[in-house]
Amino acid sequence: PTILSVRDDTLAVLERLGVPASASAFAEGGGETGLPARSPIDGGVVTGLRQTTADEAEATLARAHQAFLAWRRVPGPRRGELVRLLAEELRAHKDDLGRLVTLEAGKILSEGLGEVQEMIDICDFAVGLSRQLHGLTIATERPDHRMMEVWHPLGLCGVITAFNFPVAVWSWNAALALVCGDSVIWKPSEKTPLTALAVHALATKAVKRFGADAPDGLLGLLIGGRELGERLVEDERVALVSATGSTAMGRQVAPKLAARFARAILELGGNNAAIVAPSADLDLALRAIAFAAMGTAGQRCTTLRRLFVHDSVYDALVPRLKAAYGSVRIGDPRDPATLIGPLIDGTAADGMARALDEARAIGGTVHGGERLRDIRGEAAAYVRPALVEMPEQAGPMRRETFAPILYVTRYTELEEAIAQQNAVAAGLSSSIFTRDLSEAETFLSASGSDCGIANVNIGPSGAEIGGAFGGEKETGGGREAGSDSWKAYMRRATNTINYGKTLPLAQGVTFEV
C-alpha cells in the first residue's frame, strides 16, 4: 500500500532531512550541466541537480587541504566528539535517511534502515577509537634509549563511493578519517546524489554544533560524474583515496595513485561463493542462501553468486531453492511485504539478460530471471532473481554480474570445491555450510578460502562493522571499518630518543671522529 508518488515522497523526505528543493546549494555551489536524480522504484526523474564545476572542485580541495592542517592539531578525543554528534544526527534522522536510501537506491525498507544503523555503528566505534589511536613502545638494542611508534593524521582523504551502499561506505571512511585527524572530500555515485546531499546536510549540522574547532571545509562534497572522482585521484593534495566500485574503476584508479605514491584503499567487485557440505543444516543454509543471493536484488558487493552443493544433498536443497526463487515477493521496496526491490536501472537488467543468455548457450538451465515490466512500467527495472544450474563453473559464472543471478553446480570432493571457489579473479567473501569441524577449519585455513571474508554457517553477505572489511585479488586488497583498519588513515612515525650521554650506534657500528 503505497500512498505518495515516488517524487513527492522523495521531496518530502529531503525537506525533513534539511535538503532544500534547490539542493544544489549543498553541492558546494552550482554548475552548468545538470544531473538528473532518479528513483529506481519507477525509473523516473525526481529532481535535477547542478553538478560541481571544476572551479568549485578546486575550491573544495583547497579548503579541505587547509582544514586538514588545522584539524590534525585538534586532540583525538575532541575529534571523536564531532563523530559523536554526527551519530546523534543520524539517530535522530534514521527513519528519513533510511527511507531516502529506499527511494534512491531501491533497497527494501529494513535494508535502508540497516544501512543507516551501520553508519551509527561505525560512528560509535570511531568515538571509542578516538581515545585509542595508540602505537607501541619497542625494546631498543641501545642503552639509555627509548624507541616508540606514534600515529599521526595522514592528510586529506578522498572517498569515492558506489550506488549500492550510497551512505554507509562514506561513513566507514569518514568516521575513521575524522577521528584520525584527516579532512574528507566525498564523491558519491552519480546514481545516488540525493542521499549524499542528505548525509552532507546532517554532517554539516553536526559540524555547526561542534563549534569553532572544526575548520571550514573539513567535509567536502563533489556532486557529479567520474571526472570529479578522477580529480581526487590525480590531485597531489589528496593523501589517500578510498574508492569503492567496480574492478574496472579500480583498474583506472590504482595506477594513477601508484604513480604519485598516494595511498589507496580499493573496495572493488566480488564473485562470492558458498559451499554446501553433506552435513550442512539445510534449513539454515536455505535461508542464508536466499538472503545472500536474492537480498538487495543481488546488488551487494558481497552478494552470493556461486553455489557449490555436494552431490549427496543437491536434490534435497536445490528444488527448495527453486521454490523460494519462484515465490519471493518482488515489488515497490516501500511496501513492507516486498523482499526484492528493483535493479538500479535498465542497463543493469540488460546486463543480467546477457549473462543469462551466455549461461544458456553453454548448457546452463535458467530458472526465473525474467524482467517484470508490469510492476512499475518500462522505465523501472524489476526482475525475478535467477537460479542457474550449471554443468560446471564456466562463462559468466566466472565474473561478477551486478544482478540477482545464482549459479549452482555440484561437487564431490571438498578440496575441489575450495579450488573452484578460489578459481575466479575476485576475492571478497565466501562461506561454507557444514557441521563437520574438520571441513569448517579446512575452509578457514591457509589453504582454504582465499577471500578477505570467510564464514561458517553464515552467508557471505552482511558484515558487521567490528571486523575489517575488504577482499583480495581483483577486489583490490583494501580494508575498511573495524579491527585496525584505522591505521590506513594515519601515518606511522618511529621515534628513537637518546636520554644518555654517549652515542652508541645500532648494529655495533663504530664511527669515531
Out of 11, 126, 249, 440, the residue judged to bind ligand NAD by CB under 6 A: 249
CA distance 330 to 2: 14
189 contributes a contact to ligand NAD by CB under 6 A:
yes
CB atoms within 10 A of CB 350: 14
CA dist., res. 231 & res. 73, Å (int): 27
Cell numbers found for residue 193: 546524489
Residues touching ligand NAD: how many (CB under 6 A)?
A: 29
Write the DSSP string, 185-253. EEE--TT-HHHHHHHHHHHHHHHHHH-TTS-TTSEEE--SSHHHHHHHHH-TTEEEEEEES-HHHHHHH
Stretch of 91-99, 225-233, 319-327, 349-357 contacting ligand NAD, by CB under 6 A: 225-233
Residue ranges in 270-299 that form contacts with ligand NAD under rule CB under 6 A: 270
What is the pattern of x (binds ligand NAD, CB under 6 A) and - over residues 379-418? ---------------------x-x----------------
Q: Which of 63, 79, 187, 305 forms a contact with ligand NAD (CB under 6 A)?
A: 187
Q: Does 160 bind ligand NAD (CB under 6 A)?
A: yes
Relative to beta strand 45-50, strand 429-433 is unpaired
Task: Please tell me whether residue 253 binds ligand NAD under the rule CB under 6 A.
Answer: yes
Residue 195 binds to ligand NAD (criterion: CB under 6 A): no
Candidate list 213, 230, 335, 436; residue touching ligand NAD; CB under 6 A: 230
Strand ordering across the sheet containing 304-310: 365-368, 386-389, 405-411, 304-310, 272-276, 429-433, 453-456
Supply the Cα-derived Rg of the chain in whole angstroms. Answer: 24
Among residues 80, 112, 181, 245, which is the contact residue for ligand NAD, using CB under 6 A?
245
Instruction: Cell 533510511: give the residue.
Output: 98
Nearer to ligand NAD, 182 or 190 (CB): 190
The residue (of 214 and 383) whose beta carbon lies closer to ligand NAD is: 383
Cell of 400: 561478477
Interface with ligand NAD (CB under 6 A), residue from 268, 273, 294, 383: 268
Place of cell 583498519: 485
Smallest distance from ligand NAD to CB 28, Å: 16
Footprint of ligand NAD on residues 418-477 (CB under 6 A)? 428, 475
Question: Does position 171 bind ligand NAD by CB under 6 A?
Answer: no
CA neighbor of 257 nearest in space, from 277, 234, 237, 273 = 234
* Nearest in space to 478 (alpha carbons), one of 487, 121, 403: 487
Question: What letters, b where the CB count within 10 A reaches 16 and e where it falls short, cover 270-307?
Answer: bbbbbbbbebbebeebbebbbbbbbbbbbbbbbbbbbb
Stretch of 136-144, 183-191, 310-318, 380-388 lying at the interface with ligand NAD (CB under 6 A): 183-191
* Percent composition of the chain: helix, strand, coil (DSSP 3-state, to 5): 40, 20, 40
Q: How far is the CB of 301 from ligand NAD (least distance, A)?
A: 3
Residue 50 in the binding site for ligand NAD (CB under 6 A): no
Question: Which residues within the stretch 335-354 sit at the binding site for ligand NAD (CB under 6 A)?
Answer: none
Cell of 269: 567487485
CB of 396 to ligand NAD, least distance (A): 14
Return d(Cα 257, Cα 34) in angstroms, integer. Answer: 29
* Minimum distance, C-beta of residue 513 to ligand NAD, in the bound complex (Å): 53
Stretch that binds ligand NAD, among 59-67, 113-121, 224-232, 272-280 (CB under 6 A): 224-232
Query: Which is catalytic among the residues 56, 190, 267, 400?
Result: 267
Per the annotation, the verdict on 267 as an active-site residue is yes
- Measured from the CB atom, is 264 or 440 closer to ligand NAD? 264
Q: Give the residues lining the site for ligand NAD (CB under 6 A).
A: 160-165, 187, 189-190, 225-226, 229-230, 233, 244-246, 249, 252-253, 267-270, 301, 400, 402, 428, 475
Q: Which residues are catalytic?
A: 267
